[in-house]
Structure 1
Amino acid sequence: MDEEWFIQQADQAGHLTRLAERAQATFWGVLGCEVVQASGNKATICLDATERHLNLLGIVHGGVLMSLLDNAMGLVVMLAMPDERTVTANLNTQFLASSKGGVIVCEAELVHRTKRSLTLQAQVKDDGGKLLGLGMGTYRII
């Protein structure tokens, strides 16, 4: 590893810290999302799903799972394209199982990139590793 690699890592860590601070006042903070690890290729985020995250059936609301998918994939996009503005163009979700709450983890990964868009995939699991949902998203550079 050379000096340039260390400089790049420090720049990315600083950018991530600034993003996390700004995000607390947004929907990210309302949900209670936390970064576990993140880079311009992969990210892992989590939240502790409590009663406020449940629907009337007593399970984690599908919108919470979709938000985790979008937030994790969006974080990868922001780190991959720090000087660009991007928006979610498409988000497909497959709900596979339900959860009554607790820690929920979402892992996202960049799978394709062009000059105008990025495509990612992500999965949401409960703290026992049960797969709750899968997502595929396309993010457009504006």
Structure 2
Amino acid sequence: MAWGGNYEEILAAINKRISEVGILSFIGYKLVELGDGYAKAVFQHDKRLERVGGIIHGGVIMTALDTTMGFAAMASAKGENNVTLELKVNFLEPLDGGIYEVTGRVLRRGLHTIVVDGELRKRGGVLAAKALGTYFIVRT
């Protein structure tokens, strides 16, 4: 289903659906901004998301990045669904407390694929993870 131009309504509908998705709800993931080829989300540190050693598990980081980047891709394609073809993440700093901000920004949209840049930042705007993903546009 194609999106219209009212990103506020779309954002509210997406967050309602996110609250129903087990893993995203468990993480506490919330999409806070959505624009043409851009998405921004937040989630808060929770002990249940930690791995041994008291830092957020890499799988949680990848899930947050992949989801946000997928929304950025979807926004650039006016709501056309997509699936991840490839996702590369560099883990730069441990996530050890506070609120985390995740962004996705489309670098290039082609006919069938969309390349998206992702970042996850922790307290003080410190870059904690950097990602690059390719998303395939699903047309039914």
- Alignment TM class, shorter chain as reference: 0.7 to 0.9
* Correspondences of 1:69-88 after superposition (within 5 Å): 69-88=65-84
Q: Who is 1:132 aligned against?
A: 128
- 1:110 deviation in Å? 0.4
| Paired letter, 2:67 | N
* Correspondences of 1:44-123 after superposition (within 5 Å): 44-123=40-119
| 1:18 equivalent in alignment to 2:35 | no
The answer on whether the counterparts of 2:18 and 2:30 sit within 8 Å (CA) in structure 1 is no
CA root-mean-square deviation: 1.5
SS of the equivalent of 1:128 reads: helix
Question: Max radius of gyration: which structure?
Answer: 1
Percent identical across equivalent pairs? 25
- 1:82 deviation in Å? 3.8
The answer on whether the counterparts of 2:11 and 2:33 sit within 8 Å (CA) in structure 1 is no
- 1:39 deviation in Å? 1.1
The answer on whether the counterparts of 2:84 and 2:135 sit within 8 Å (CA) in structure 1 is yes
Please report the TM-score for the alignment, with normalisation by the length of structure 1.
0.87
Please report the TM-score for the alignment, with normalisation by the length of structure 2.
0.88
